[in-house]
Chain A
C-alpha cells in the first residue's frame, strides 16, 4: 500500500514537472499598482474593472502551453529593475517602457525588433503623438499602450469666488488672474496659491516648460539632436513666462500641485492620471469643483506629452510567444476595442493611444476631466526621444528650479542648462 502510494506521488511529481517544463514561460514586467494588476473589486470581491491579471488568465486559457508571470515594480524602481536584471541575467520577456528611456535601451540592444505587421499597424492605427513616442531613429520599437499629456486643471469654486467664470485662455490672462486667486496669512505665508508648480519632480518641472516652449513656437533640440535650442528667444520667453507667476506673488517654490485636492491651489498644470486622486480628494464636490481646460498659450495652443510602449527584450528566449501575446493584448479586435485599450480606459484611467479605442471608449474618455486631454492630443508634442533623456531632463529641471528660486535669470539658467546638455549631445550625436 505504502509502495503504491509512493509510486503514485512520484508519477504525479514527474507529470507535474513535465507539464510545467513543457510550458513557455513569459515574464511581464509592469510599473502598475495593485488594483491595476489584480483588477478593481467591489466589497464582495467581484471584479468591477478587469486588471492585467484577468486578461493574462484569459490568454492562458486560450493558450494552455503559455504561462505568464506578472512582475509589478513601482515606477521609481522600474528602470533599476531593468538594469539589474540585465546585469544578473534574470530578464523579463515583456516590458512596458517609458518613451524617455527608449533611446538608451535601443542603443544598448535591449529591445527586440518589432515584427513588420505590428509596426505597420502601429503606424496606421495609433495617435501620432504615441507613434512618435515609440519611434526611435525612424523605427517603431514597441506598441504604444498609454499616452499622457498636460492640461490646466482649475478649482471652479475658487475662480468663481474671485469673480472669474471662465479659466484663462492665454498665458497673459493666467498671469493676470493668478495673483487675484492667491490668499496670504497675516504672517505673509501663502494660504492659497493662485497657481502651483511642483519643485521636486522632474516631469512636473520640465513638461510644463516644454508645453510653453512649443506654445511659443520653439522646440528643445535641433532635429538631428546635434544641439539644444534652450537659449533661443522662444525658450527664454517661455521660462520668463513662468517666472512672471513667481514675481507677481501668485506662486513660490514651496507651492505644490499636491495641495490642489485640499483646495489650497486654484490652478495647476496636470496629467490625466491624476483624476482618481481628485475624485478622492473632493468626493461629492468633485464635479462642482474641478475644471479642466487647455494650457493657456503664449502664441499657439500646445501641450507636452509622453508615451509608454510595450516591447520585448532581445534576450528573451521566447520572443515569438511574447509578440503573440502582445498582438492579442494590444492589437486584436476584442469587439470593437483592444484589451489593452479597455484596461487603460476602464481601469488605469489613462488615454489609450489606439484610434479604435479612442473611438470605442467615448463614454469613459468623455468625462469632465479626461475629455480635454483627449481633445488636446492633436496639440500634443511628444517629449523628445533623445539619448540620455533622463539625464538631460534632470539637468533642465535643476536649472528651471534655480530660476524659480531667483538664483538665476531665465537666460542664465537656460544657458547653463544648454552648456551641460550640449556636452551630452556631443557625446552621442557627433
Chain B
C-alpha cells in the first residue's frame, strides 16, 4: 500500500515538475539571453577570429584561415612571453601587497576613533579614474622636481628615473596600483571584521592572548573567505590591467612595462592583427581561468569553502 502511495506521489511530483519546467526556463531566459549575447557569443567569435588572419577591413568570411598558428607564434615569441612575465609580476605583487596592507590597515582602524573618516580617506583613490591616478603619479615620479626624488634628495640618495628606467618602471607602476587598490580591499575586509563575534577576542584575552596572537589566530582565519574573494577577484583584475601601465609606462622601454591587455590592444588596433590579438586575449583568458582554479584549490585545501 505504502509502495503504491509512494509511486503515485512521485509520479505526480514528476508530472508537476515537467509542467513547471517550461516556466522555469522562461524565468531563466532573460539571464540566459543576456549571458549568451554578451559573453558566450563574444568568446566564440573571439576564438573564431583567433584562427584567422583578419584586419577588420574585409569581411571575416574573406579572412584567411590560419588554424592555431597565432597561438604557436605567441607561445614562441620572446616578447609576448616577457609581457606575460611582466603581467604575472604585476599581478602577484599588487594582489599580495594590496591585501596584506589593506588587512593591516583595516585591523588598525576597525575600532579606532574616526574610523569612518579613515575609511573614506583610504577609499578615495578607488573612485578616482585610473588615468587620472596615472597622470598625477607621473608628476610625483618626475626625475627633476617630483615628490619622491625630492624626498630621496633630503636623505642624500641619488635621484631615480622612476618611469623611464627599465629596471624600475614596472615597480613604480606596481606601487601606484597598490596605493590605488588598498581602499577597496580595506572596505571589504572591514565588513568581514565586523562579522567576527567579539566573544572570541574576549575569550582569547582571558586566555592571555596578546593583539598579535589574536590577529593571527582569530582575525586572519575567520577572514579567510573574505581574503579568498579578494585574492580571486584581485588576480582576475590584475591580469587584465591596462590603464595604469598604458598611462604611466609610455616613456619606458615597452618590453619592461607592457602588459598582456596593452599588447592585445596594440596588436589589434595598431598592427591590425585581430587574429593574433584574439589569440593573446584567449591565452589571457586561459591563464586567468587556470589561476583562479589554483587559488580556489589552494584555499580549499586549507579548509576554506566560503567562496563556493
CA distance A188 to B57 in the complex (A): 51
Question: CB-CB < 8 A to A108: which residues of B?
Answer: 55, 57-58
CA distance A105 to B56 in the complex (A): 11
Question: CB-CB < 8 A to A398: which residues of B?
Answer: 253-255
Q: Does B52 contact A (CB under 8 A)?
A: no
How many whole Å from B243's CB to the nearest CB in chain A? 15
Closest to B161 in A: A254
Question: CB-CB < 8 A to B56: which residues of A?
Answer: 83-84, 86-87
Interface contact B251-A200, CB-CB below 8 Å: yes
Interface residues of B in 104-154 (CB under 8 A from A): 143-144, 149, 153
CA distance A189 to B143 in the complex (A): 7
CA distance A98 to B144 in the complex (A): 36
Interface contact A79-B144, CB-CB below 8 Å: no
Question: CB-CB < 8 A to B253: which residues of A?
Answer: 253, 398, 401-402, 405, 407
Among B149, B166, B271, which residue has the most Cβ atoms of chain A within 10 A? B271
Q: Does A42 contact B (CB under 8 A)?
A: no
Given contacts A188-B158, A253-B161, A401-B253, contact A391 B273 (CB under 8 A): yes
Question: CB-CB < 8 A to B161: which residues of A?
Answer: 252-254
Question: CB-CB < 8 A to B226: which residues of A?
Answer: none
Q: Does A14 contact B (CB under 8 A)?
A: no
Interface contact A254-B251, CB-CB below 8 Å: yes
Question: CB-CB < 8 A to B165: which residues of A?
Answer: 405
Among candidates A104, A187, A190, residue contacting B55 with C-beta atoms closer than 8 Å: A104
Tally of contact residues, A, Cβ under 8 A: 34
Interface residues of B in 172-214 (CB under 8 A from A): none
How many whole Å from B225's CB to the nearest CB in chain A? 42
Residues of B bordering A, CB below 8 Å: 55-58, 143-144, 149, 153, 158-159, 161, 163-166, 250-255, 266, 269-273
Residues of A bordering B, CB below 8 Å: 79-80, 82-84, 86-87, 104-105, 108-110, 185, 187-191, 199-201, 252-254, 256, 388, 390-391, 394, 398, 401-402, 405, 407
Q: What 5 pairs between A and B have smallest CB-CB spacing?
A: A108-B57, A200-B250, A391-B271, A83-B56, A199-B251
Chain A to chain B contacts (Cβ below 8 Å), 28 pairs: A82-B57, A83-B269, A83-B272, A84-B56, A86-B57, A104-B57, A108-B58, A109-B57, A109-B58, A110-B57, A185-B144, A189-B143, A189-B144, A199-B164, A199-B250, A201-B250, A252-B164, A253-B253, A254-B143, A254-B251, A390-B270, A394-B270, A398-B253, A398-B254, A401-B253, A401-B254, A405-B164, A407-B166
